[in-house]
């Protein structure tokens, strides 16, 4: 089966997620990459944004979660993003979400980032 993909990468937001109490007070930057899969032939033929998933919609849905209420885990942030996209676009074949936390505070070490990546099928995972 042929699968088409829309990628929106490097979305940057400021949020207050983390297990450490300081993360919930000070906040930090989060970077999100999305890939959604669906048949894009109709949009390619019509040249009409109504026949696809707009990047702006994906950005807004992602921002609502990342800049929304504080969560403890990156896993919960990623799941919230996938769920919100699935509710608006239930006909997607697949949603992949990667959430990166640059310079995540890990005691005794310096890392470029910590990240979580999830993959969900809307019709199965959010019926």
So which residues are the catalytic ones? 101
Coil, strand or helix: which one is 15?
strand
Q: How far is CA 92 from CA 39, 58, 74, 83, 87, in A?
A: 9, 12, 23, 12, 10
End-to-end CA distance of the chain: 22
């Amino acid at each position: 089966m042929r699968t088409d993909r829309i990628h929106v990468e490097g979305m940057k937001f400021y949020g207050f997620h983390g297990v450490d109490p300081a993360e919930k007070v000070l906040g930090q930057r989060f970077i999100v990459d999305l890939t959604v899969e669906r048949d894009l032939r109709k949009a390619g033929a019509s040249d009409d944004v109504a026949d696809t998933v707009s990047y702006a919609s994906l950005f807004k849905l992602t921002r609502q979660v990342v800049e929304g209420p504080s969560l403890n885990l990156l896993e919960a942030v990623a799941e919230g993003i996938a769920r919100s996209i699935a509710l608006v676009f239930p006909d997607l074949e697949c949603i992949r979400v990667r959430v990166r936390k640059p310079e995540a505070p890990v005691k005794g070490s310096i890392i470029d980032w910590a990240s979580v990546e999830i993959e969900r099928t809307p019709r199965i995972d959010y019926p």
